[in-house]
């Protein structure tokens, strides 16, 4: 789940109030926990400050709290007319913003983020270098097929499987790789998102649309002989996953159906789901070292 600031401070969208944000987060995590899963929350630093108690409690319960970053909602940037996404910013600005964002996150929560997702899935090589220097060595920064100059997101033909991104510049004493865990999507033959291929939970018209993308993604990962095969579904802190007794749209039914029918859907194509967070999947890939995953 991407956790944004309130709508007033987040031009790309966000919950109306901090209370709504809390409700979205806790109803989502409660539903996942009831089925034995843990979520990965990508949280913009200002929201980490506003939701510190809820997020530290979730971290204690095994959920992962990572860093999310929107250039146009960072600090006072929401007042500016046009702020380019993080992947389009000069390397020095990326480094300065991400380092200040990490500090705000750590000051609020008391632990550093281990994983990252850029707003709009915007990224470029210097962004990964800055993340590695900040000891953030994994994330979910790609939506395979999403390709937009305006959003500075270029994922035409991007692979659906977890993979390593090596440091482009000179190697350092620290870690020189970032493990990427892409969001599940469906691409057309040109490598772009297929019609209805962006299967974020709030956009779905049916569960079949989601399972179609999941089946497609796993088949491609199997064909690529990916050591770890995964599914990663996206949503935002602007939806109610509880009883629907709130001003937000309720998306509980679609998530419940997903969780209840996923084992059967996976079994049909020869997989057994193992719950995992983004760093959990990254660790599995690191351990695999090109040996086939025990998860298949
Ligand atoms: Zn976002």
Beta bridge partners of 139: 116, 180
Superfamily classification of domain 2-288: Glycoside hydrolase/deacetylase (3.20.20.370)
- How many whole angstroms from 143 Cα to the centroid of ligand 1? 12
Using the mean position of ligand 1's atoms as its centre, give its distance from the Cα of residue 68 in Å: 7
Tell me what pLDDT residue 148 has: 95
CA of 105 to the centre of ligand 1 (A): 16
Going from N- to C-terminal start, the domains of the chain cover 2-288
The answer on pLDDT for 294 being more than 50 is no
Question: What is the pLDDT at residue 169?
Answer: 81
Output the CA 69–ligand 1 centroid distance in Å: 7
Q: Ligand 1 centre from 221 Cα, in Å?
A: 26
User: What's the CA-to-centroid distance between 273 and ligand 1, angstroms?
Assistant: 27
Spatial CB neighbours of 258, under 8 Å, sequence gap ≥ 6: 201, 207, 210, 233
pLDDT tens, position by position, 31-68:
999 999 999 999 999 999 999 999 999 999 999 999 99
CA of 267 from ligand 1 middle (Å) equals: 32
Q: How far from each other are the two terminal CA atoms of the chain, in whole angstroms?
A: 25
Report the share of the chain in percent with pLDDT over 90.
92
Query: How many angstroms separate the alpha carbon of residue 239 from the centre of ligand 1?
Result: 14
The alpha carbon of 130 and the centre of ligand 1 are apart by a number of angstroms equal to: 19
Q: What is the pTM of this model?
A: 0.96
Distance 262 CA to ligand 1 centre (A): 26
Identify the pLDDT of residue 296.
Answer: 45
pLDDT one-digit tens code per residue, 177-229: 999 999 999 999 999 999 999 999 999 989 999 999 999 999 999 999 999 99
């Amino acid at each position: 789940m991407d956790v944004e600031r309130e709508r007033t401070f987040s031009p790309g969208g966000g919950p109306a109030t901090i209370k709504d944000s809390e409700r979205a987060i806790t109803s989502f995590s409660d539903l996942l926990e009831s089925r034995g899963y843990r979520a990965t929350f990508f949280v913009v630093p200002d929201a980490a400050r506003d939701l510190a108690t809820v997020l530290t409690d979730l971290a204690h319960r095994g959920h992962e709290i990572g860093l999310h970053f929107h250039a146009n909602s960072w600090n006072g940037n929401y007042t500016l007319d046009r702020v380019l996404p993080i992947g389009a910013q000069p390397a020095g600005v990326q480094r300065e913003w991400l380092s200040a964002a990490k500090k705000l996150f750590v000051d609020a929560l008391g632990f550093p983020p281990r994983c990252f997702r850029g707003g709009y899935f915007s990224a470029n090589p210097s962004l990964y270098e800055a993340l590695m220097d900040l000891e953030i060595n994994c994330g979910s920064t790609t939506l395979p097929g999403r390709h937009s100059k305006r959003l500075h997101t270029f994922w035409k033909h991007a692979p659906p499987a977890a993979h390593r991104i090596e440091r482009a510049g000179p190697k350092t004493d620290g870690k020189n790789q970032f493990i990427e865990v892409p969001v599940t999507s469906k691409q057309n033959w040109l490598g772009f998102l297929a019609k209805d291929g962006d299967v974020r939970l709030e956009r779905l018209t049916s569960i079949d649309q989601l399972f179609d993308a999941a089946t497609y993604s796993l088949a491609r990962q199997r064909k690529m002989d990916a050591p770890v095969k995964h599914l990663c579904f996206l949503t935002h802190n602007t939806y109610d996953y509880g009883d629907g007794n709130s001003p937000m749209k309720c998306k509980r039914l679609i998530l419940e159906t997903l969780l209840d029918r996923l084992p059967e859907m996976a079994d049909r194509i020869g997989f057994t789901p193992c719950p995992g967070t983004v760093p959990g999947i990254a660790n599995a890939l690191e351990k695999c070292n090109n040996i086939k995953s025990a998860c298949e």
